[in-house]
Amino acid sequence: MTDIIRSVKDLIEIHGKPKREVYLDSENSGLIFPEALEEMISCYRETGYGHPSITHKIGWMSYEKIFKSTQILADFINSSVDEIAYFHSGTEANNVAVTGLARAYKNRGKKIIVSSIEHFSVIFPAEKLENYGYRVVKIPVDEYGFINVDSLSNAVDKDTLLVSIAAVNHEIGTIQDIRGLVEIVKDKNPQTIFHTDAADALGKINFDVDRLGVDLATFSGHKVYGPKGVGVLYIKEGIKLEPVIYGQLSTQRLWPGVENIPAIAGFAKAIEIIRNNFDTFVFHMRSLRDDLIDGLLENIPYTLLNGPKGDRRAPDNVNVSFLYCEGEALTIELSMRGIYVSSGSACTSRLLEPSHVLLAIGRKHEEAHGSVLMKVTPMHTIEDVKYVLSQFPQAISRIRSLSPLKPEE
């Protein structure tokens, strides 16, 4: 770690401080609303530092903070407070949704269906269950990441316990027709439970659990410009889950230990800000997204947009493959220019493996390796986008000049 820090400092000294800094890596960990941060600080100082299950004044105040925060989220997704369970990340929530469901319904069915572009926190626990007699079926997608509905319909049968399909894909921003997919699944087997990883949907599209008909839905604090360290699982009334870790319970029956109340409060404050500005934020992000996509595709040759265009794409998502360009090298070059992005697959870039999402939509390995993922936020400005567009052609040109791969003459 020390060597990495030293290398970064050396690069900064060599290249100098960038004229501007634009953080576009909200896929991995993002910017936080200042008001959400202040809410967390206030919580630590005044109301949320106690144990919410202890019967004294500070415990009561801490419990009240959790309850009020939960009410904000429940109202936003149209659920009851009793249908909300807290974890310490979206990854934990996804694991409980898959593994906890299998533990709770051991005799209902042994088939689990996921899309081929799900987050690894859904795919990996599902595959782990194969060691216990479960069968995992991965549904293919088209070139834009949309589910093949015929394959889904054909896969669902009386042995299907769970279907898990993300409402918005975390890498390419594809917005699935979750309501329509739920109807397909329930028509084939009303007992099949439908889970959606909605971490990248919350705050980006209208998300109403009752209208969509989902049984389980996952959310994450840092994906809505709140803090890291808090995840949520919506659990429809009547759905059973078993815990995956054990210990002393507080207010959460599925995850033992003391709740991260300041993070929960910060998450709720972020939701409150988004709720009060939803249409404005979505319009703003969509405008920045389109400017960024159009500017990159029009001004840099040999580029490919990954995922759909327009209203069927998340308003914050920009994922572009730059041919004859290695994505890891490009992230370093852009970083020296004050532009922070992720490459390949945001969750696996250090392994230098191509994104399973991009491979699933038909990209070649070299196209996936040359991809860059960026996400705009309500806090970004048009000046930020202009700066990014001014720097990208130079960065691409430099990295391509070093690459052994060249366009065919």
* Domain boundaries, position 376: 2-30+278-402
CATH number of the domain within which 264 lies? 3.40.640.10
Strands 135-139 and 111-115: parallel
Give the contacts of 37 (CB within 8 A, at least 6 positions apart).
227, 266
Same domain, 45 and 161: yes
What's the pLDDT at 349?
45
* Positions of the chain with pLDDT under 50: 1, 4, 345-349
122-161 pLDDT, tens digit per residue, is: 999 999 999 999 999 999 999 999 999 999 999 999 999 9
Same domain, 158 and 240: yes
Longest dimension (CA), the chain: 77
Burial of residue 124 (number of CB atoms within 10 Å: 0-12, 13-18, 19+): middle
Sign of CA dihedral 47, 50, 52, 54: negative
Q: Is 347 a catalytic residue?
A: yes
> For the chain, what is the domain count?
2
Same domain, 72 and 95: yes
Same domain, 228 and 372: no
Amino acid, single-letter form, for residue 92: E
DSSP 239-253: -----SS-S--SS-S
Tell me, yes or no, if the pTM score tops 0.75. Answer: yes
Question: Of 216, 347, 373, 399, which one is the catalytic site residue?
Answer: 347
Tell me the C-alpha to C-alpha distance, in Å, between residue 220 and each of 131, 276, 408: 28, 19, 44
Same domain, 14 and 155: no
CATH number of the domain within which 282 lies? 3.90.1150.10
50-102 pLDDT, tens digit per residue, is: 888 888 988 899 999 999 999 999 999 999 999 999 999 999 999 999 999 99
